[in-house]
Amino acid sequence: MTWPRAILFDVDGTLAETEESHRTAFNRAFAAGGLDWHWDRELYTQLLQITGGIERLRHFAGARADDVDLPAIHAFKNACYRQLVQDGSVHLRPGVTELVDEARLRGIRLGIATTTSRANVEALIASAFGAVALDWFEVMACAENVAGKKPDPAVYRFAVEALGLASGEVLAIEDSVNGLDAATGAGIACLLTPSLYCRADGGGRALLVLDDLASVPAARLLQTLCDLRQCQ
Ligand code: XBP
Ligand code: MG
């Protein structure tokens, strides 16, 4: 099996169900900032169509955006989020550890392609896998690296270029249709594992859709993906 040569993991919703912690952190930031805003699960489900926390805030604020220091609210939100991560509130989704271990065993390179910040990614990886794992992901393509957020394919293009590979040599793993569109828009085959907030989304362009990465043992999953890729 020679494919894939690298796997690019999305973070929020894919490595872990992070969005409840982001939502909690947003609400704490609103309260701390003296705002009477509150995002319940129903509203947050709709707001997640807007990728990126600051973009989501701007969209929600609308005409009020000029009256509120949105970057400060977002920075406070991210500090709260990282505290939740460091406190151990966020766990890896089923099968993630097994797939990462199997990929490392086979010499498949690992990377990250996310709309969130590098600080948030590093906090999650260090807390969930252990600090040693920060070296396992040789490319971290994050919010700081590109202007456009998913479904813009820019973050995937950046990651593939940093790996020095062709897009056809890489597998992406995503939880949302925005992420799927970003990966496939960059010419990267994508495995979709819908997260709690993205269950209703479709996965038409995905190479494969699974409830989670534990649905198939890691070695068999990699073989299945390779076979599917050859049939494309
Ligand atoms: C994830 C997101 C956001 C987070 C990111 O998208 O857009 O949920 O709020 O946190 P994806 P920031 O999983 O497709 O990368 O507030 O740091 O943007
Ligand atoms: Mg995601």
Question: Distances from the Cα of 230 to the Cαs of 163, 199, 225, in angstroms?
Answer: 22, 28, 9
Tokens of 184: 């496939």
Provide mean pLDDT across the span 44-70.
94
pLDDT per residue over 72-112, tens digit each? 999 999 999 999 999 999 999 999 999 999 999 999 999 99
36 burial (CB, 10 Å; 0-12 / 13-18 / 19+) is: exposed
- Ligand 1 binding pocket (C-beta < 6 A) is 10-13, 19, 22, 51-53, 78, 114-117, 120, 143, 150, 176, 178-179
pLDDT tier, 198 (very low <50, low <70, confident <90, very high otherwise): confident
The reported pTM is 0.96
Kindly list the catalytic residues: 10, 12
